[in-house]
C-alpha cells in the first residue's frame, strides 16, 4: 500500500501536464491519508473524484495522466478495503485463532 502512495505522489509531483498548485494539493492530500484508518477508502475515493472533475476532454495528454492517476488511486483504495476487511475479520490479530483452528478445538 505504501509503495503505491509513493508512486502516485511522485507521479503527481512530477507530472508536466497538471498545474503546480493542483499537483501540490493532491500530493499533500494523498500523503495525509492514514492508509490503516477505516476512513482511508472514503478519503481516497474523494481524492479520486476531485481529480476526475479536472478531466477536460480538450487535452488528451492531461486527461490521460489524470486517468492513470485515478486508476492507481482506485487500486490503492481496493488494497485499503482488503486490508480493512482482513483486520475486521479478526484474521489480522495474532491473538485470535483462525476459524478452522477454533473448530478443531471444539
CB of 17 closer than 8 Å to CB of 59: yes
pLDDT tens sequence across 67-93: 999 999 999 999 999 988 888 777 555
Cell 488494497 belongs to which residue?
79
- Each domain of the chain, given as residue ranges in start order, spans 2-105
Q: What is the pLDDT of residue 3?
A: 87
Residue environment code for 21-45, b if the CB has 16+ CB neighbours within 10 A, otherwise e:
eebeebbebbeebebeeeebbebbe
Q: What is the pLDDT of residue 105?
A: 41
pLDDT tens sequence across 17-76: 999 999 999 999 999 999 989 999 999 999 999 999 998 888 999 999 999 999 999 999
Q: Report residue 3 as a C-alpha cell.
A: 509503495
CB of 43 closer than 8 Å to CB of 33: yes
Q: What is the pLDDT of residue 100?
A: 47
Q: What is the pLDDT of residue 83?
A: 86
pLDDT tens sequence across 86-103: 887 775 554 444 444 444
Between CA 21 and CA 35 the distance in angstroms is: 24
Q: What is the pLDDT of residue 101?
A: 44
Amino acid at each position: 500500500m505504501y509503495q503505491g502512495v509513493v508512486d502516485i505522489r511522485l507521479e503527481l509531483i512530477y507530472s508536466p501536464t497538471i498545474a503546480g498548485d493542483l499537483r501540490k494539493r493532491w500530493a499533500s492530500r494523498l500523503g495525509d491519508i492514514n492508509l490503516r484508518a477505516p476512513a482511508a477508502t472514503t478519503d481516497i475515493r474523494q481524492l479520486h473524484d476531485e481529480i476526475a472533475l479536472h478531466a477536460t476532454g480538450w487535452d488528451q495528454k492531461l486527461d490521460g495522466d489524470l486517468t492513470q492517476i485515478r486508476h492507481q488511486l482506485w487500486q490503492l483504495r481496493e488494497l485499503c478495503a482488503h486490508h480493512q476487511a482482513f483486520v475486521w475479520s479478526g484474521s489480522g490479530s495474532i491473538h485470535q485463532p483462525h476459524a478452522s483452528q477454533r473448530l478443531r478445538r471444539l
